Amino acid sequence: MKLLRYGPPGEERPGLLDSNGQLRSLAGVIDDIAGEALLPSALARLRALDPDTLPKVAGDPRIGPCVGQVGKFVCIGLNYADHAAETGATISTEPIVFNKWISAISGPYDALHIPRDSLKTDWEVELGVVVGEGGRNIREQDALQHVAGYCVVNDVSERNWQLERGGTCDKGKGYDSFGPIGPWLVTADEIGDPQALQLWLEVDGKRYQTGSTATMIFTVQEIVSYLSRFMRLLPGDIIATGTPPGVGMGQKPQPVFLRAGQWLRLGVEGLGEQRQLTVQD
């Protein structure tokens, strides 16, 4: 299933994209694509519905973040061997963990706001994991059973605040609009192997990132299991699993960063694509 949320910011309603690309309303079936609606039993009930019986959504509504009421937005850094190489970083023996503030979450086509004090706003296409069944101390061999589905994430990053201003990197990761998710949440049963997906990103039509989840240092199941050792994962939590090479700060002979008036286009195989126009705060 492709689950999504549509409507004005803060007023999103739950929906489903049928096999013909028609948006159908889930209003009256579930309250939101959030929390307990992402548990395996709840997804099974949605899967049993005949989409043709659901009301069609008229017009061209805004598509919002594909998950609502997110509790945690956890990210993994330098998780692609080829991305680590382009930054000159040593490959870590354990996942590098940081957070994006949930206030950074935005829709897949919403404007990307470049902060007024930004010097180095950068892009990062990533595979997002949406937790279904939560838990602690999840065994690695069981970890994929705790995944409700997957989505596209743009882990937008302000490199000056992330890397050059002291303290933790979280400062450069959590600005408003720095966490577009969606356009939809694709349930895990529709994604065969999360370690065999292509990722890509373009700026103004120029391809910068082309990669595959096959080059992840830590797999989805390793990440889910690892995180559950020191935090309780809850339904609707989002995990961004790292980015392939081609980020702005890795460009040669000199880095390239975003400026107002540019278009980003990015996607993950089977999960749809995002488009964002950059605007200056």
The per-residue pLDDT for range 124-156, each reduced to its tens digit, is 999 999 999 999 999 999 999 999 999 999 999
CA–CA separation, 45 and 67 (whole Å):
18
3-state helix, strand and coil shares in percent for the chain, rounded to the nearest 5: 20, 30, 50
**Domains present along the chain, CATH in parentheses:** 2-53 (no CATH), 73-280 (3.90.850.10)
User: Which stretches of the chain are assigned E, i.e. beta strand?
Assistant: 2-6, 13-17, 23-25, 73-77, 96-99, 105-106, 112-114, 121-122, 125-131, 147-154, 157-158, 179-180, 185-187, 198-203, 206-212, 238-240, 263-268, 273-280
Starting from the edge strand earliest in sequence, which strands make up the sheet with 13-17, in order? 23-25, 13-17, 2-6, 185-187, 147-154, 125-131, 238-240, 73-77, 96-99
Regions in the chain scoring below 70 on pLDDT: 84
Alpha-carbon distances of 54 from 27, 28, 257, rounded to whole Å: 9, 10, 44
CA–CA separation, 85 and 69 (whole Å):
36
The per-residue pLDDT for range 166-196, each reduced to its tens digit, is 877 888 999 999 999 999 999 999 998 999 9
User: How many Cβ atoms from other residues are within 10 Å of residue 205's Cβ?
Assistant: 7
Instruction: Determine the pLDDT at residue 168.
Output: 79
